[in-house]
Amino acid sequence: MAPTNTSRRGAVRPVDKFDQRRDELAESALTTLGAMGYARASLREIANNSTFSHGVVHYYFQDKLELVIYSVRYYKARCVTRYDSVVSDSTTADDLVDAFAAKLTETIREEAPMHRLWYDLRTQSMFEDQLRGAVTEIDHTLQDMIWRVVSRYAELDGRPVSVDPVVAYGMLDGLFQQALLGYLSGHPTALDSLAVRVRKVMPLLLA
Partner DNA sequence: GCCTCGGCTTGACACTTGTCAAGAGAAACC
Partner DNA sequence: GGTTTCTCTTGACAAGTGTCAAGCCGAGGC
Question: Which positions lie near DNA, rule CB under 7 A?
Answer: 1-3, 10-13, 17-18, 21, 40-45, 51-60, 63-65
Among 17-25, 33-41, 61-69, 153-161, which window interacts with a copy of itself (CB under 8 A)? 33-41
Given a contact cutoff of 8 angstroms between Cβ atoms, the answer to whether 38 and 120 are in contact is yes
Contacts of 62 (CB under 8 A, 6+ apart): 5
Cα–Cα dist 169/164, whole Å: 9
> For a copy of itself, which residue of 47, 172, 191, 202 counts as binding (CB under 8 A)?
172
DSSP state for residue 204 in the 8-state scheme: G
3-class DSSP state for residue 80? coil
Distances (CA, A) of 49 to 78, 115, 174, 175, 198: 21, 19, 32, 32, 37
Cα–Cα dist 105/196, whole Å: 11
3-class DSSP state for residue 161? strand
Q: Name the residue nearer to a copy of itself (CB basis): 22 or 116.
A: 116
DSSP H or E segment with residue 146: helix 129-157
Q: Name the residue nearer to a copy of itself (CB basis): 44 or 140.
A: 140
Q: Name the residue nearer to DNA (CB basis): 59 or 81.
A: 59
Residues binding a copy of itself: number (CB under 8 A) = 40
Cα–Cα dist 176/58, whole Å: 35
How many alpha carbons fall within 13 Å on the CB side of residue 24? 15
Among 23-31, 56-64, 98-106, 175-183, which window interacts with a copy of itself (CB under 8 A)? 175-183
DSSP state for residue 169 in the 8-state scheme: H
Cα–Cα dist 23/149, whole Å: 29
Does the protein bind a copy of itself through residue 159 (CB under 8 A)? no
Q: Binding string to a copy of itself for residues 37 to 56, with x set by CB under 8 A, is what? A: xxxx----------------
Q: Name the residue nearer to a copy of itself (CB basis): 4 or 185.
A: 185
> For a copy of itself, which residue of 56, 80, 114, 171 counts as binding (CB under 8 A)?
171
> For a copy of itself, which residue of 21, 80, 114, 119 counts as binding (CB under 8 A)?
119
With CB under 5 to 8 Å by kind, the binding choice for 123 among a copy of itself, DNA, none is a copy of itself
Q: Given the rule CB under 8 A, which residues bind a copy of itself?
A: 36-40, 116, 119-120, 122-127, 132, 136, 139, 162-163, 166-167, 169-175, 177-178, 180-181, 184-185, 193, 197, 200-201, 204-205
